[in-house]
Amino acid sequence: MDIRKISVGPDYKSGAMHYLVGQDILNSSHKIHLIQQDKDSQSIKVWIQREDEILLWKEFNSNMPISIEYNINF
């Protein structure tokens, strides 16, 4: 299932960082390309893109409180 958004931090409304696929980041030089759940490492990986280059930007392990929103296509 595709992940649309993650929120990382203990308090969803005021203390969490939110990452959304397609979001501009790093002074709009990159966009979030993919948010992926890695079952082997039990982590969440955030991949970013600038032009044709895709890079792993962040990885959150299972010790971090994370809320996941999936794409729902009707």
Q: What is the pTM of this model?
A: 0.90
Instruction: Give dist(CA 15, CA 27) in Å, integer.
Output: 22
Summarize pLDDT for 8-30 with one digit per residue, the tens: 998 888 889 999 999 999 999 99
Summarize pLDDT for 29-71 with one digit per residue, the tens: 999 999 999 999 999 999 999 999 999 999 999 898 999 999 9
Q: How many CA atoms lie within 13 A of 1 on its CB side?
A: 9
